[in-house]
Chain A
Amino acid sequence: MSQTTIYSAKKIITMNPNQPEVTHVAVRDGRILGAGSLSDLEPWGAYTLDDRFADKVLMPGFIEGHAHTMEGTLWRNVYVGWFDRMDPDGNIWQGVKSIDAIVARLIEAEAKLADPNTPLSAWSLDPIYMDNRRVTRHDLDRVSTDRPIGALHASGHILNVNSKGLELAGLLRTGINHPGIPLGADGLPTGELFGPDAMTPVGPHVGFERSLTDCDERGLRDYGKLCVRAGVTTCTDLAAQLTDDSVAMMLRVTGEESFPACIVPLKAFLGTTAKDIVDYMLALKPKSTERLRLGRIKAIADGSIQGFSARMRWPGYHNGAPNGLWYTAPDQMSDLYHRALEAGVQVHTHTNGDQATQMALDMLEPALRAHPSPDHRFTLQHCQLADAAQFRKMAKLGMCVNLFANHHFYWGDEHYRLTVGPERATRMNACRTALASGVPMSIHSDAPVTPLGPLFTAWAAVNRITASGRVQGEGEKIAVADALHAITLGAAYTLHMDAEVGSIEVGKRADFAVLDTDPTACDQSDLKDISVWGTVQGGRIFAATDL
């Protein structure tokens, strides 16, 4: 006989407009039997009243629509980011504010390594905040000249290594001529490696393996802990390689009774034909489980704005940099859209520059005429520079968007000053225009690029404050209620999962974010500081303190 548990809470924010706030929720078999008052729920029969959340606020479990589980693996390296950040075990790593502080932290970590050949790897370096001071191999040589050392930047697109790392890769020599490898006055590489082409030959020597985009087994378990700490119960992995081995591993780990989240990995459309990836997704989809949802594709149109590899429409980059790179040719994108629509496989497309967004729109429209698909919900991911006309077009085409609200805080100042200039920086991640245009919208962290934390993401979209403290884009601010919708039902919608998660109502999975304070009652500038007690996922209770 199934057990029914009724939880009482200080407040339950349901995201169900028929009863936005209630006091009790009944859970049976991992699903929501009902939400309402205790007397509303009692007729369901025998129950256990559980008042452990009596002083908590429950929300639907948060849904992160664009993150990478590789963050779980990255935490095994030394954190050298500018901002304070919490690791899977709940320790707060203080942000490091100078090169000297980075070196000191690495020296401390180096002393703990017994084997002299083990590389020392660090991550989340971001010298942008240190007056853009260049970090060189000489800085890292202060830690060790014998041990290979590598520090991955927060963007994931730059790697700093020491002399030993260069030496092991055969690159501590003169005569190197590569756009991603700057040389010092001595003719030797400075130790900065820009872009995957330059990073990949050195990465394995400093502890960063080939498939940096995928987490490993321990990394996935650690990532689950990060989800609990952020109130996340459903999280995308965008994009994974999804080899036979990695699918088997993900099925195994997410199937463990202690795994606290539903993971939705999308396979990257890179290095494969459209036909093959669509066929593969059709074959993978039936392997989906309650906590691993397979069968979606992530296409990548262009690169990144701060890396000047995003594709821009006229007038291009503010500093005159040449236009960026296509990662997928328009014809290939068209082929993918046609085949995916025909097969009913969903595609999320990474676009950063406004030309990349336009390309995706231009390729989708004829594909939709050929394969009318009333509920395709193809989603543009990042889509940072879209203008109002593009949002109107997305709405007409039935597309969704997932905007990079966190990016605005972390790199908004750079975009204003350098990459796209004030006007376009102000409209970046235009949440309000998206909603006003009727485009179903979510907002995201792109963890590990920025920390997983939907309440922070909501704060970023509501306040639009940059790292320097400026409000950038007053007109694109959204209301708290809209931001909370974006991190719950909004994200669920982009994944065709809004019927099962995203709100607290009868029949849905019992997924809750358990909060210490009420995000609808606090000052909107405090949204990011709301502490998360933990989660309930599929009726299973996960307290952050018990992880």
Chain B
Amino acid sequence: MMQNRPSVPVTTIGGYLGSGKTTLVNHILRNANGRKLAVLVNEFGDLPIDEDLIESQDETLISIAGGCICCSFGNDLIGALRDMLGGSTVPDQILIETSGVAIPSAIVATVALLTGLHSDASLVVVDAETVRTAARDDYIGDTITRQLSDADIVVVNKGDLVSDTAKQELADWLSDVAPGSVILPTEFGRVAPDAIFGCVAEPSHGLTAHHSDALFESITLHPDPIEDVPNYVHRLITKNRGIVRAKGYVYDMMDQCWLIQVVGQRSNVTRSDQAKQNGLVCIGLRGRCDFSGLRS
């Protein structure tokens, strides 16, 4: 049963209250592109899901157009995850919208304990306008910097509210407090789901074609058989080519198929049991991606 299913990737979406987590989640749901997403939230706040997306709703479950769902887990995240894995339909990807004071890396570590799940990425949303002030707050400052310190992706939201100078200062500050992460500037939570999700779609799904907004672009590489796949991936992410996400399958000289998943500067490279179509989707910020370098 459960063991035969592929492991479900889990993305945690953290960030202090008001940073824009819910807006981001709604944007992702709106652009699910056929993926069955399950969003887990602590509680249904005033408007956890935009009304036009909701098909039906009860106390703990909202059904969303396109087969996605949103569940409130109250105080029992692990129980909710376990229920989800034991259910008849297992989602393609799980998103956990954490509470404003949760430390996402702690949740990532816990998710990794459960059979049938793997942590995909820890994403932290910050409010471009207020995060640096909040980070100096006596009460929540250290919580915010702790949230950021282990993030894979930092989504800098509400970029429309700050000047270019402030954006640059913020970027400098983030490179200090979130040294291992990829920074994604955005407005109104508009981040391409492909940049956030690690679930690997076959290139034929049309994943490479278009993105939901103009901030991102992507290419699909079809490399010739590679001598040393881990080393190839290492070079891919350390040459500062602006890759936010890379995912797909490549082959080595021995005709072994490899699964590659990259988020920011973190990568997961494993031998694949199945022979998949050769193709590695690389996603990055528009204009900041060294695609020609990638092709070579």
A contact set with B: CB distance below 8 Å: 169-171, 176-181, 197-198, 200-201, 210-211, 241, 268, 270-273, 275-276, 311, 322-323, 325-332, 355, 359
State whether the Cβ of B214 lies closer than 8 Å to any Cβ in chain A: no
- Do B140 and A330 have beta carbons less than 8 Å apart? yes
- Do A273 and B45 have beta carbons less than 8 Å apart? yes
- Do B109 and A177 have beta carbons less than 8 Å apart? yes
**CB-CB under 8 A for A198 and B113, given A271-B72, A273-B43, A329-B16:** yes
Per-residue A-contact encoding for B94-133, CB less than 8 Å = 1, 0 else: 0000011101001101101111000000000000000000
- B100 to A: closest C-beta gap in Å: 5
Per the bound structure, the CA–CA distance linking A346 and B228 in Å amounts to 65
**CB-CB under 8 A for A171 and B113, given A200-B79, A201-B78, A331-B100:** yes
Which of A178, A180, A200, A355 is within 8 Å of B78, CB to CB? Answer: A200
**CB-CB under 8 A for A276 and B43, given A177-B109, A179-B109:** yes
- Do A332 and B100 have beta carbons less than 8 Å apart? yes
Which of B18, B79, B106 is within 8 Å of A210, CB to CB? Answer: B79
- Do B74 and A270 have beta carbons less than 8 Å apart? yes
**Which residue of chain B has its CB nearest to the CB of A271?**
B74
- B26 to A: closest C-beta gap in Å: 18
Within 8 A of A (CB), among B5-64: 16-18, 42-46
- A194 to B: closest C-beta gap in Å: 11
- Do A323 and B142 have beta carbons less than 8 Å apart? yes
Per the bound structure, the CA–CA distance linking A275 and B44 in Å amounts to 11
B contact set with A: CB distance below 8 Å: 16-18, 42-46, 72-76, 78-79, 99-101, 103, 106-107, 109-110, 112-115, 138-140, 142-143
Which of B16, B42, B107, B114 is within 8 Å of A271, CB to CB? Answer: B42
CB neighbours (8 Å) of B143 from chain A are 325-326
Which of A201, A270, A322, A329 is within 8 Å of B113, CB to CB? Answer: A201
Per the bound structure, the CA–CA distance linking A270 and B72 in Å amounts to 12
Count A-B contacts at CB 8 Å.
Answer: 82
- A539 to B: closest C-beta gap in Å: 39
CB neighbours (8 Å) of A198 from chain B are 110, 113
CB neighbours (8 Å) of B140 from chain A are 326, 329-330
CB neighbours (8 Å) of B99 from chain A are 329
Lowest 7 A-B CB distances belong to which pairs? A271-B74, A271-B75, A326-B101, A197-B110, A178-B109, A270-B75, A200-B78
- Do A268 and B75 have beta carbons less than 8 Å apart? yes
Which of B17, B73, B106, B113 is within 8 Å of A332, CB to CB? Answer: B17
- B244 to A: closest C-beta gap in Å: 24
CB neighbours (8 Å) of B79 from chain A are 200, 210
CB neighbours (8 Å) of B103 from chain A are 325
Per the bound structure, the CA–CA distance linking A388 and B106 in Å amounts to 35
- B268 to A: closest C-beta gap in Å: 13
- B134 to A: closest C-beta gap in Å: 10
